[in-house]
Amino acid sequence: MSIQATPLNLFKANAELQLRIAQLMRENGHRWLAAVQQASAEGVSETGAALEGLLRAEDWQSLASLPAEAFWRRFENRMSDAKSVSDIAIKNQEVFASGLQQALDAWQKAVADALRADAAPNLPALPLQDIFKQWLAAWTPATQEPAPAGARKAAEK
């Protein structure tokens, strides 16, 4: 592989990483949307059941007892809903983090392969942190020596 192929291969590796992260974000959004849709459907079902209870009330005394019953039923449901939302959040985060780790591993391998193709064939795989250090070092401007006090005053005039 020629030295001209390295920038293209690095660009492809970065584009593949961006694509995979975008896919992970979309999948994560779909999981959250499904959870919200389920909670919404359950809420509509609960409201329908409460309204049916109102319609079935045959006297004022049974009608007056409905709000207390509904309160405790809803309170119990909300406690279980809070646990469900917590479980969904943890599961979604685990799936996203796992997919992100796989994407970063694939990206690191692609970058190492691109760099290894132009260097010695026995170049070891670089840890991710070392790649970032090398990349940042190439883009970090050199530090400048402070100018002598006399030169600063002359430059200000």
pLDDT tens string, the chain, 157 residues long: the values are: 455 778 899 999 999 999 999 999 999 999 989 988 888 887 788 778 777 777 777 777 766 766 666 666 776 777 777 778 888 888 899 999 999 999 999 999 998 888 887 664 555 555 555 655 665 565 555 555 555 555 555 555 5
Return the SS3 of 112.
helix
Q: What is the model's pLDDT at position 135?
A: 54
User: What predicted TM-score, i.e. pTM, was given to this entire model?
Assistant: 0.58
Place of tokens 């499904």: 34
The whole-angstrom separation of Cα 8 and Cα 15 is 10
Q: What is the model's pLDDT at position 104?
A: 93
Q: What is the model's pLDDT at position 29?
A: 93
The whole-angstrom separation of Cα 2 and Cα 116 is 11
Angle in degrees, CA 52, 57, 60, rounded to 5 = 140
- Residues in contact with 13: Cβ distance below 8 Å, sequence separation at least 6, in sequence order: 107, 110, 111, 114
Residue 151: what residue type?
Answer: A
Q: What is the model's pLDDT at position 152?
A: 52
